[in-house]
Amino acid sequence: MNREYKTLMVTGGAGFMGSNFIRYAFRTAGFKGRILNVDKLTYAGDKENLADLASESETGRYRLLQHDICDHEAMSRIVRDERVDGIVNFAAESHVDRSIAAAQAFGATNVLGTLTLLEAARAAWGDRRDVLFHQISTDEVYGSCPEPREFAEDDRYEPSSPYAASKAAADHMVRSFGVTHGFPYAITHATNNYGPYQTPEKLIPLVLTRLYAQETIPVYGKGDNVREWLFVDDHTSAVWTVITRGKAGESYNIGSGERLTNLDLIHGLGREVAARTGRAPDFFKALMKFVVDRPGHDKRYALNAEKLRRRLGWKPAVSFDQGLKATVAWYGQNEAWMARARTRLGNWLKAEGTAWAKRRS
Ligand SMILES: NC(=O)c1ccc[n+]([C@@H]2O[C@H](COP(=O)([O-])OP(=O)(O)OC[C@H]3O[C@@H](n4cnc5c(N)ncnc54)[C@H](O)[C@@H]3O)[C@@H](O)[C@H]2O)c1
């Protein structure tokens, strides 16, 4: 089956993965309908991330609506009055360290916000089954994955951080609407994404901003935690595949199989920045500083993404080597974007930063 949408509501579309998804929909997938980007514009959201969609804005095919997804009245009105026929829920508090410092916002946006969207959609959609609610979830809901296993979709949830627990709770809410009401949904669990427009509190952009500025790079513990890295365009193409051709009521893992320790990752980024800037190949080693490990830090993530490959024919198109080079180049060429993102983070720290977050900054 091929699902088509007239009006897609993308929440959190001013953030890293959501903005890449919206751009892909118009520029790569050839989407002919409208996209409503519902975003609260927290410290993580920047409307300039989609400044290149000026022509779609002029024709009304792209609109940014600044709202909190916990706002029941606004969400209900938008889904009903704008005749939304698909929702892709990217909006979230997304940074694990912040959830350790202060978890309440994670409960609000990730759990209550998802529930608010589900209720708004169910009220507007009734018994319609030609619509879809797509929940963007994470590999972190499964918890740490022991060697040499890979987690599949039917593995049990064992979230370690308040962030992962809030995402797990949201998934349970989505699935419960499917079981209880026959509500049409899909869920995708992705591994760590990287690429352009990622806020420099996450590992790769954090390391890159520090490397370019020649500042200290904090490394948790021994740097031996393993993450599976997925280029953001591959995540986007996977989500597009699922919302157009996936089966309602199913969940799919999205992974690349490219697994690295944090130390190997930082070394790779350092060598690439050195090559681009003409610095000594190991200049980055003097910047690295091992810091106290993150409490509850999952040791390893590893997903089995065979279901998505076998059933829907999706596979990643960008190797880690290609993605890393493209990402290092993008951050090197977008200094103004980086400066703005760092200012937003700094402002947040001044206004709301907790002792833990300040220690890490
Ligand atoms: N980054 C990753 O590696 C990764 C991996 C797997 C899954 N995910 C999931 O993907 C989604 C997007 O992640 P990201 O890295 O792009 O996040 P991000 O932090 O870059 O962006 C989140 C966006 O959501 C918006 N937002 C936050 N609270 C909101 C609210 N209450 N109402 C409306 N908008 C709100 C922010 O303004 C921002 O634009 C999240 O659901 C996250 O859990 C992320």
Q: Is 139 a catalytic residue?
A: yes
Report the side by side order of strands in the sheet with 259-261: 192-194, 226-231, 259-261
The span from the CA of 192 to the CA of 323, in Å, is 13
Question: Considering 68, 85, 93, 140, which one is annotated as catalytic?
Answer: 140
Q: Are 206 and 278 in contact (CB under 8 A)?
A: no
Q: Identify the helix (H) or strand (E) that includes residue 346.
A: helix 335-352
Tokens of 185: 């949904």
190-194, 326-330, 338-342: least confidently modelled range: 338-342
Rounded mean pLDDT, 167-173? 98
Residue 344 has pLDDT above 80, yes or no: yes
- Read off the pLDDT band of 161 (50, 70, 90): very high
Residue pointed to by tokens 């290149």: 52
**Closest ligand 1 atom, residue 70 Cα:** 31
Predicted pLDDT of residue 352: 72
Q: Are 117 and 11 in contact (CB under 8 A)?
A: yes
Tokens of 356: 């833990």
Any atom of ligand 1 within 6 Å of the Cβ of 40: yes
Any atom of ligand 1 within 6 Å of the Cβ of 136: yes
Predicted pLDDT of residue 140: 98
Distance 98 CA to ligand 1 centre (A): 13
Distance 214 CA to ligand 1 centre (A): 28
Question: Considering 139, 153, 201, 233, which one is annotated as catalytic?
Answer: 139
Q: Is 127 a catalytic residue?
A: no
Predicted pLDDT of residue 355: 58
20-24, 41-45, 135-139, 342-346: least confidently modelled range: 342-346
Report CA dihedral (208, 213, 219, 224) to the nearest 10 degrees: 40
Predicted pLDDT of residue 350: 81
- Tell me if the bond preceding 148 is cis, omega within 30° of 0: yes
Residue 13 has pLDDT above 60, yes or no: yes
**Closest ligand 1 atom, residue 68 Cα:** 32
Any atom of ligand 1 within 6 Å of the Cβ of 178: no
The span from the CA of 218 to the CA of 191, in Å, is 22
Any atom of ligand 1 within 6 Å of the Cβ of 90: yes
3-state secondary structure of 260: strand
Which residue has a Cα nearest atom 22 of ligand 1? Answer: 15
Question: Considering 5, 24, 142, 163, which one is annotated as catalytic?
Answer: 163
Predicted pLDDT of residue 360: 55
Rounded mean pLDDT, 12-20? 98
Any atom of ligand 1 within 6 Å of the Cβ of 75: no
Residue 49 has pLDDT above 90, yes or no: yes
Q: Is 321 a catalytic residue?
A: no
**Closest ligand 1 atom, residue 113 Cα:** 31
Q: Are 233 and 21 in contact (CB under 8 A)?
A: no
Predicted pLDDT of residue 353: 65
The span from the CA of 130 to the CA of 123, in Å, is 15
Domains and CATH numbers, the chain: 7-193+232-255+298-318 (3.40.50.720)
Long-range contacts, 321-327 (Cβ 8 Å, 24+) = 322/231, 323/194, 323/195, 323/229, 323/231, 324/268, 324/269, 324/272, 325/272, 326/195, 326/196, 326/231, 327/194, 327/195, 327/196, 327/204, 327/208, 327/231
The span from the CA of 201 to the CA of 204, in Å, is 9
- Read off the pLDDT band of 104 (50, 70, 90): very high
